[in-house]
Amino acid sequence: MTMNQMEAAVRIAQLSKELDEHNYRYYVINQPVISDREFDLLLEELIRLEIQFPELLLPDSPSQRVGGTVTREFKTVVHKYPMLSLGNTYSEEELRDFNERIIKLIPDEPVQYICEHKFDGVAIGLTYIKGKFAYAVTRGDGIQGDDVSANVRTIRSVPLQIHAANCPDEFEIRGEIILPHSAFERMNEERADIGESPFANPRNAAAGTLKLQDSAEVARRKLDCYLYALYGKELPFSTHEEALNAASAWGFKVSNDRRICQSIDDVLGYIRHWDQARLHLPFDTDGVVIKVNHFLQQEELGYTAKSPRWAIAYKFKAQSASTLLRSVSYQVGRTGAITPVANLDPVQLAGTTVKRASLHNADQILKLGLHEGDTVWVEKGGEIIPKITGTEPAKRKPDAQAIHFIEVCPECGTRLIRQEGEAQHYCPNSSGCPPQIKGRIEHFTARKAMNIDGLGSETVDLLVDKGLVRDIADLYSLKKSDLLALERFAEKSATNLIQGIEDSRSVPFERVLFAIGIRFVGDTVARKLARHFLSMESLIQADKAALLEAPEVGEKIADSIQAFFADPMRKKLVDRLQEAGLCMAIDPGEAPKRVSDRLAGKVLVITGTFEQHSRDEYKQIIEEHGGKNGSGVTGKTDYLIAGKDCGPSKLDKAAKLGVKVISEVQFLDLVGLATAD
């Protein structure tokens, strides 16, 4: 049924309200009432209506959480209320001194403290005007910070609109943007899988994510946000606890682990509890923040030049232990990356037994000055990844040899290489190094790739060791009789595996592109490359300039794609996969629904950044109106849509070839989506 604008406005308002409620239930109070699929269907309906009626798209729409805005520079914003830092202490004695100072300054009044987690993330200030999210600013230097609003909009636990009637007309709420352990582990697995170095800890990962230029990638990484302080004129609260209760009622995510303490002994009891209990939290904390609860007392106590006198942060001591370094071994990944691993005498640390710790790369070994048999100190970075933080040279044996990074691959003996500007060494023998061969096959068959059941690491090892499979294309030549000749296979398991391989021929192009294992091309980049180039052939033929026009693609990824397809063996491998019947282009059934023929037969190229829609949305609009997306300006290009900050090369080429250059507004007018002034 076709809607008019008024009907669409009503439906958009209804969908927005429903989605806001489901976001709150899922991401704030952890009480979802619908499935992920049902949520996605509601969101898809909203996005379709907003594309059809762009004048109804509002900044606080739930659709804006999926990202798509590209930010070339982050604007600097002066804090309305300076973001001061807290004084730190690691000592219970210093906490008692803090308490004594408070009592001396306000001797005639009982003092109540409120204790909260000290989240290990990125400080943020969120400003709301008339109940709507206005902007988000990082701490910066405390006086001014970066406007990261586009990225913060993607965080599902941050409300874009407050529906409560009692919130102030304007206020700022501050908190910490964090990356939960589950999201951090998933991100590092993905980075390792595409040949990227893992993040050291969730805090670094959160900080890096918040400054990404593409908000769609920020949305995919699943940041979270806990809020803990309200600022504004004449706020109607007498205590910090009242303010946090109000923030929670307004829809903000506030920690439920806070506690009112009537004495410094209560505070110390809270600290001792969480020093151990924090190990079971789904996110990182590195201490406890202690604040005087009553605002009038806070005002009376005042500030030093750097921090409030009424608050202090108790920092937990990093959980570390000393143990012996037994040896250093070297792992070879599917991309050929070599990762050194320290093998240790088992030691208890943060509730687990640690036997191994990553040494990351040659530079880390050199920095630590490791020798054979060293006594080393081990910590858990972000309470997740064991790492060696130092050695005890005084305990080193006089004849201990320094550990030097290997020069040849431990698996195939090939001399290692290290590209300029990269931290890791690589084995270049991609076609003959067993871990690389097996790793590529495991990657190819994984759930996010070709999703071939029954091909775990043990089965892959067996198939490669028996000579039945030498590369990913060989999988499509396997016969059931080949499998039945092996010890591990019976009739049913052999039938299931062959059927799984057969089913994978229908896997969509974007997953095939991810599965072939181009270094630095994860599933998100593969999906965007597939949508941008539409076919493997177009991707292979794209020059570097055309690759750089694709979303998410920078110099490193563009060079990696070109190097991959320049290798005759890899190009032949892709040809064999195509002959095996794998999908090498976007399925016509996945194409956007046709809205009109206004652009029928026209080829359009997009360059620069835009205000009203993202580049991906414009590509979809082009296809919905019958046009084709070109990757570069050629004699066949009909229009070049030029946004802000577009490079001169495409404009120059368009001028030489006589291609018409149009603005964002002119394009929207061309397809009938321009709004009236």
Q: Annotated catalytic sites, by residue? A: 118
Q: Tell me which residue has tokens 């057969």.
A: 502
Residues 30, 36, 39, 40, CA torsion sign: positive
What's the angle, vertex CA 360, arms to CA 560 and CA 387, rounded to 5?
150
Query: How many angstroms separate the Cα of 462 from the Cα of each of 42, 446, 482?
Result: 46, 17, 12
Q: Which residues are 640's β-sheet partners?
A: 605, 661
CB 423 within 8 A of CB 321: no
d(CA 488, CA 493): 9
Within 13 Å of residue 384, how many CA atoms lie on the same side as its CB? 21
d(CA 351, CA 383): 10
CB 422 within 8 A of CB 555: no
CB 540 within 8 A of CB 567: no
Report the number of secondary-structure helices (H) and strands (E) in the chain: 24, 20
d(CA 79, CA 266): 34
Buried b (16+ CB within 10 A) or exposed e, 145-171: bbbbbbbbbbbbbbbbbbeeeebbeeb
Q: Which of 121, 133, 134 is nearest to 209 (CA)?
A: 121
Query: How many angstroms separate the Cα of 662 from the Cα of each of 116, 186, 478, 674?
Result: 54, 42, 53, 13
Which 8-state DSSP code applies to residue 417? B
Residues 101, 105, 111, 116, CA torsion sign: negative
Name the 3-class secondary structure at 535.
strand
Q: Tell me which residue has tokens 């229009």.
A: 639
Query: What does the H/E/C string look like for 489-531?
Result: CCHHHHHHHHHHHHHHHHCCHHHHHHHCCCCCCCHHHHHHHHH
The distance of Cα 411 from the centroid of its chain, to the nearest Å, equals 32
Report the relative pairing of strands 338-349 and 122-129 from DSSP bridges. unpaired
Q: Which of 622, 644, 647 is nearest to 633 (CA)?
A: 647
Structure tokens at 563: 């190097």
- Residue 292's region, left for phi above 0, alpha for psi from -120 to 50, else beta, is beta
Cβ-in-10-Å burial (0-12, 13-18, 19+) of 538 comes to middle
CB atoms within 10 A of CB 124: 23
Structure tokens at 347: 């030691």
Query: What does the H/E/C string look like for 95-163?
Result: HHHHHHHHHHHCCCCCCCEEEEEEECCEEEEEEEECCEEEEEEECCCCCEEEECHHHHCCCCCCCCECC
Q: Tell me which residue has tokens 């009432």.
A: 33
The distance of Cα 646 from the centroid of its chain, to the nearest Å, equals 27
Q: Which of 210, 116, 124, 232 is nearest to 174 (CA)?
A: 124
Within 13 Å of residue 316, how many CA atoms lie on the same side as its CB? 25
